[in-house]
Structure 1
């Protein structure tokens, strides 16, 4: 090959790499990043919260917990309809006196990204939420969870009507 062809191929490969890296950065920054580290749950008026604020408050409660203090779902009913809350609360039957004691788990929220699908109805919204968290017992791994949330606007503000886990990945 001639020197001209080698230079041309080198420049072409360099330009393609720059485009790939730039596209990746733009794609990853397109989500709305809440925070790197969770803050303490703030006092707020749910009736005045935007859908984004409701989602972030809900996710903060769901993914920042210590089971010796509270279960992951406790407190989330403030942000949900009864039907939505019933979807995430595990079945609670009669307590078995011979049952093993529950294992203590500690979860810490790390990052939240929301991707919205606007509905034609003004009182409904849907969102895909990417949640990054850590859970005790997983070592240095992080857990990525994809949630599909459906929200409706009621008299007392925006409420989550449905919460579906689409995917969970340990990284």
Structure 2
């Protein structure tokens, strides 16, 4: 796959981090209700994972969903999940259909969570022979749809509005 310039990568990562902090705060304080642009919503619970094996089970289940398979041809291509050396970021390796996830950072398992895994699945679902920016509008559209359908509509709304507020274009 040929890639174009990834001009909104930093904005996507900023929005991701903001959304994860909102969900972390809800978990920490036990307050799941928030007001978003004048609407009160209740945040769903984001799944957390204990191991590479549990992430692999989750990825297999997501890619096996009928609506995911019907919408994205690449859902039929199996993904391998592996531990990533270091602690900085998770990433997707397109050439081997592998999601690499750091297990711990400063004593925390920050990447063993649903938002991170769905972000990487959204990379996997990109059409293989189309020139797209890795974090372009098409990617963001897939990611927001996955979050909205799998984590919950409220989570999708929080992600979509945060992406928009951070200047991210959504396809």
> TM-score scaled to structure 2, two decimals?
0.26
Structure with greater strand share of residues: 1
- The structure, 1 or 2, with the larger RCO (C-alpha pairs under 8 Å, 6+ apart) is 2
> TM-score scaled to structure 1, two decimals?
0.26
Structure with greater helix share of residues: 2
Larger Rg: 1
